[in-house]
């Protein structure tokens, strides 16, 4: 149900913005009702620009999330790592690090035991399932990221193309000699 509601709202918004841009651009060229023309044009352009810009901004934000950890993340711990901790705390922290590395990158790194020995991390079944869920979520996020970029580009392209079409149509009407509806506007435009 939510999908249909969003679809109806999006379609109505796109149609309204397109009509505002087209009519505003057409009226600007024809010099008809300048305030109304500029208001229509601005409303449509502001809507398309803000929705398109927000979608492109979401695209970049999702890209930062997908980049993941910073450089150096997921590498082996040095032998002197956190040697100031007690052996049990060192084991617990290094095992948590190894678990986090596996969950985010899928790499198996070694961690410290309380004895000081280093062993390769072996994920549990729950950690393997969590890793699979992360991969599925990452795939969905990549899909949403592409959709956000396409929506942003589409909104900006619709605004530009509609404005150009409106300007061209208005210009065509303005130079058309057999258009009695514009006789009054031509007379007003010709006055000093």
CA end-to-end distance (rounded Å), the chain: 58
| 148: helix, strand or coil | helix
The SS3 call for residue 109 is coil
- In whole angstroms, what is the distance from residue 85 CA to residue 94 CA? 11
pLDDT at position 161, please?
92
Query: Which whole number is the average pLDDT over 153-182?
Result: 82
Q: Which residue has the higher pLDDT, 181 or 56?
A: 56
Phi–psi pair at 106, nearest 5 degrees: 90, 0
CA separation (Å) from 18 to 8, 92, 159, 189? 15, 59, 7, 27
CA–CA separation, 43 and 21 (whole Å): 8
Which H helix or E strand runs over 157? helix 125-175
Task: Write out pLDDT tens, residues 66-115.
Answer: 776 655 566 777 777 777 777 788 788 888 888 878 777 777 888 888 77
Question: Looking only at Cα atoms, what is the longest distance across the chain?
Answer: 96
User: CA angle, 90 as apex, 88 and 92 as ends, to 5°?
Assistant: 70
Q: What tokens appear for 153 in the block?
A: 């580009």
d(CA 171, CA 115): 84
Query: pLDDT for 15-65, tens place per residue?
Result: 888 888 888 888 888 887 788 888 888 888 898 888 888 988 888 888 877
For 122-166, write each residue's pLDDT tens digit. Answer: 787 888 888 888 888 888 888 888 988 988 898 889 899 999 998
Cα–Cα distance, 94 to 77 (Å, whole number)? 8
Q: Give residue-wise pLDDT tens across range 6-24.
A: 778 878 888 888 888 888 8
Q: How far is CA 72 from CA 69, 96, 101, 108, 169, in A?
A: 8, 17, 11, 15, 58
């Amino acid at each position: 149900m939510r999908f249909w509601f969003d679809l109806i709202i999006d379609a109505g918004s796109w149609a309204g913005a397109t009509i505002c841009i087209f009519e505003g651009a057409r009226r600007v060229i024809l010099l008809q009702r300048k305030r109304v023309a500029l208001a229509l044009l601005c409303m449509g352009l502001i809507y398309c620009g803000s929705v398109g810009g927000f979608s492109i901004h979401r695209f970049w934000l999702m890209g930062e999330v997908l980049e993941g950890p910073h450089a150096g993340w997921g590498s082996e711990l040095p032998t002197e790592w956190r040697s100031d901790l007690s052996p049990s705390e060192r084991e617990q922290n290094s095992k948590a690090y190894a678990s986090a590395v596996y969950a985010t990158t899928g790499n198996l790194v070694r961690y410290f035991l309380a004895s000081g020995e280093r062993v390769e991390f072996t994920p549990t079944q729950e950690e393997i399932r969590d890793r699979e869920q992360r991969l599925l979520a990452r795939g969905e996020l990549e899909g949403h990221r592409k959709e956000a970029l396409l929506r942003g580009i589409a909104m900006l392209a619709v605004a530009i193309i509609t404005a150009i079409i409106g300007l061209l149509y208005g210009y065509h009407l303005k130079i058309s000699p057999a258009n009695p509806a514009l006789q009054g506007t031509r007379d007003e435009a010709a006055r000093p």
